[in-house]
Amino acid sequence: MSAPDAQVAVVTGGAGGLGEFIVRRLHAEGYRVAVADVDDAAALTAELDSTGATARGYLVDVRDRAALQRLLADVVTDFGGVQVLVNNAARTQATPLLEITPEELDAVMAVNFTGTFTACQVFGAHFADQGYGRIVNMASLAGQNGGTATGGHYASSKGAIMSATKVFARELAPRGVTVNAVSPGPQDSPMVRSIVGEDALDSFAKSVPVGRLGDPAFIARMVALLVSPDAASVTGACWDANGGLYLR
pLDDT of 94-134, one tens digit each?
899 999 999 999 999 999 999 999 999 999 999 999 999 99
State the helix-helix crossing angle for 17-28 and 216-227, rounded to 10 degrees.
50
154 flagged as catalytic = yes
pLDDT of 49-64, one tens digit each?
999 999 999 999 999 9
Name the active-site residue from 31, 58, 132, 154.
154
Q: Is residue 248 part of a domain?
A: no
Closest CA to 215 of 21, 13, 83, 78: 21
Closest CA to 135 of 75, 179, 181: 179
Residue 146 CB partners (closer than 8 Å, separation 6+): 152, 155
Query: Domain span at residue 26?
Result: 4-241
Domain with residue 68: its CATH number is 3.40.50.720
User: Residue 53: what residue type?
Assistant: A
Q: Is residue 246 part of a domain?
A: no
pLDDT, greater one: 206 or 34? 34
Number of independent structural domains in the chain: 1
Closest CA to 244 of 215, 216, 207: 207
Q: Is residue 174 part of a domain?
A: yes
Q: Is residue 223 part of a domain?
A: yes
State the burial class of residue 53 (Cβ atoms within 10 Å of its Cβ: 0-12, 13-18, 19+): exposed
Res. 1 pLDDT band, cuts 50 70 90: very low
